[in-house]
Structure 1
Amino acid sequence: MNAFRTTALMAALIVLFALIGRALAGPGGMLVALLVAVGLNAFSYWFSASIVLKVHGAEPVSADEAPELYAMVDRLRQRADLPMPQVCIIASDQPNAFATGRNPAHGVVAVTTGILQQLTDEELEGVIAHELAHIKNRDILTSSVAATLAAAITLLARFGIFFDRGDRDGVFTSLLMLILAPLAAVMIQMAISRSREYAADREGARIAQNPMGLAHALQRLEAGAARYAMPQAQESTSHLFIVNPFSGALSGLRSLFSTHPATEERVARLEEMARDGSYRA
């Protein structure tokens, strides 16, 4: 199912990229955009994870450099029956985390310095288990590909204003693409992000054997995102994080296009798991 989802995402983004190319520069532009999109798909499969890590300044750490964090990840990944992922730390006061990598054998768990300082061990275990669930569910390739290609679509649309087709319709089309293309990319991200967050919450609660640790963590992370900015974060990669790093700035219509489900709903579902004991199944 996840392989199908990734393939469908790649196909959707190729079509979107090609349509933008046609709207901006006619049939020739469509062909060029199509070739570029295919190349980006291949590139994103192999290198999207390393790009995401570099963009956010995530530095790998060893067991000697971060013994408590490394031991926690190792303990939980054994419980999840996963290979040991690479562990990275992002220098940011905002408490947050994400997972990336093209498959479980190349998985990466990245956490901020803020999350290490502000969460209890029980809460941090819940967050780490959630990220390991993304790796176990093979969400991470889909997320990384979406981040790379959505950023490319947004960039192409922004360049569209420079495509001069010599008529008023061409200018109108360029302006329309500037508005609609990034919106379409966000809609694709939303389609894959909200459902996978609920699934990762459920599986993470089972891995940690403690739904309330993750529930309390989500509440504190939501408050932390509102209090602390993360300069390294990008709109095109916000769906990778356990909570939206821009959630503190989301209001009105922008909140409708958030790539994450409401924290209150996520917490309510985890509380229900705690009550009915389904996390032990």
Structure 2
Amino acid sequence: MARTRYASDRGLTSRMLVTMFLLGLVYVAFVTAFFVISPRLGVIGLVVALVFLFVQYFFSDKITKFAMHAREVSPEEAPELHGVIDRICAMSDAPKPRVAIADTDVPNAFATGRNQKNAVVCVTTGLLRRLDPVELEGVLAHEMAHVAHRDVAVMTIASFLGICAGLLTRIGLEFGLWGGFNRRNNDNNAAVMLMAVVAVSAVAYAISFLLTRALSRYRELSADRAAALLTGRPSALASALTKVTGEIARIPTDDLRAAQPFNAFFFTPAFGKGFSVSQLFSTHPTLDKRLEQLNKISGELSRGV
């Protein structure tokens, strides 16, 4: 964790280490299987994985800003927003990130960038319209906690295996559907090889997906906790969570679908009312679980614990 006044979280550190260790084992098995199936495919798979990792790690801030149509704003353009971030930086003793605004009515916020030097904190116009300054401070403290915890870098490294495995699974299935599984004579070995590649990639994708989702849920709870302790106002963060979740349910479906690919980055996922998903597959804890933790912190602060 970066050296700031954000509360340290040994639970987050240990979970990161365990998840990365398990993902490392999956990655070794994944690459080894490819080399056993075909040395050439193994080399190709390794190169593709490294390229994906490089692009994600060094250009995540630019990619996310471009995809969300976000633009960086100066203190003159958004004085109130910069003022809130300046206060959080003073409280946390953290360097100030770049500040951006995305013009969408979906009320949300996200942080991206591989480290504090390259960090960008972005809020949507929908969020700015709906939250009061105290609630906004809680949300931004949450996002800046992600930066302090180096969550973006860790999740980038943790997720790249799943991305590569998912891509290879999709390519293999599409090739197979176009006849790759039905080749005969001299191509029998190629068909068997293709099925083996799809099977290995699918297993690697499923395991890495579950591991990264579990880590993502915990990092959200950790950021909530750090923000609540830093600001001393867990109730404000709880209010923001409740308000944003309720407002998202009123957003048109098309707008939500456009935002959903970025759920892992968001303050709260862009799911409409009535949406239900297994806890195993969610990037975020349930609202009830987040509110329960904040209520517990509020009680601890009131007792001076």
Band the TM-score falls in, shorter-chain normalisation: 0.7 to 0.9
Q: What is the CA-CA distance between 1:42 and the residue it aligns to?
A: 2.7
Q: What is the CA-CA distance between 1:43 and the residue it aligns to?
A: 2.8
Aligned: 1:203 with 2:203: no
SS at match of 1:29: helix
Map of 1:1-281 to 2, 5 A cutoff?
5=17, 8=21, 11=24, 14-15=27-28, 18=31, 26-146=38-158, 150-161=162-173, 162=175, 164=180, 166=183, 167=188, 169=192, 173=196, 176=199, 180=203, 182-228=205-251, 229-235=255-261, 237-246=262-271, 248=273, 250-253=275-278, 255-277=279-301
SS at match of 1:193: helix
Q: 1 CA distance for matches of 2:301 and 2:94?
A: 24
SS at match of 1:267: helix
Q: 1 CA distance for matches of 2:119 and 2:303?
A: 24
| Matched AA of 2:79 | P
Deviation by residue 1:57-108 (Cα, 9 ceiling, x = unmatched): 2211111111111111111111111111011111221111111111112211
SS at match of 1:62: coil
SS at match of 1:99: strand
SS at match of 1:227: coil
Q: Relative to 1, partners in 2 of residues 1:20 and 1:83: Cα closer, same or farther, differing over 3 Å?
A: farther
SS at match of 1:223: helix
Q: Relative to 1, partners in 2 of residues 1:233 and 1:10: Cα closer, same or farther, differing over 3 Å?
A: farther
Q: Relative to 1, partners in 2 of residues 1:143 and 1:52: Cα closer, same or farther, differing over 3 Å?
A: farther
Q: Which residues of structure 1 form unaligned runs of 5+?
A: none
Q: What is the CA-CA distance between 1:14 and the residue it aligns to?
A: 4.5
| Matched AA of 1:136 | A
Q: 1 CA distance for matches of 2:135 and 2:241?
A: 8
SS at match of 1:194: helix
Q: 2 CA distance for matches of 1:246 and 1:21?
A: 37
Q: 1 CA distance for matches of 2:63 and 2:172?
A: 24
Q: 1 CA distance for matches of 2:249 and 2:229?
A: 28
Q: 2 CA distance for matches of 1:222 and 1:183?
A: 28
Q: Which residues of structure 2 form unaligned runs of 5+?
A: 2-12
Q: Relative to 1, partners in 2 of residues 1:63 and 1:21: Cα closer, same or farther, differing over 3 Å?
A: farther
Percent of aligned pairs sharing the same letter: 35
Structure possessing the higher radius of gyration over alpha carbons? 2
Q: 2 CA distance for matches of 1:86 and 1:171?
A: 45
Q: 2 CA distance for matches of 1:98 and 1:39?
A: 25
Q: 2 CA distance for matches of 1:225 and 1:179?
A: 33
SS at match of 2:256: coil
TM-score, with structure 2 as normaliser: 0.78
Deviation by residue 1:179-218 (Cα, 9 ceiling, x = unmatched): 6555334313213211111111111012222000001111
Q: What is the CA-CA distance between 1:173 and the residue it aligns to?
A: 5.0
SS at match of 1:140: helix
Q: Does the 8 A contact of 1:227 with 1:248 survive in 2?
A: yes
Q: Does the 8 A contact of 2:165 with 2:202 survive in 1?
A: no
Q: What is the CA-CA distance between 1:40 and the residue it aligns to?
A: 2.3
SS at match of 2:259: coil
Q: Relative to 1, partners in 2 of residues 1:177 and 1:278: Cα closer, same or farther, differing over 3 Å?
A: farther
SS at match of 1:277: helix
Matched residues, number? 278
For the aligned residues, what is the CA RMSD? 3.2
TM-score, with structure 1 as normaliser: 0.84
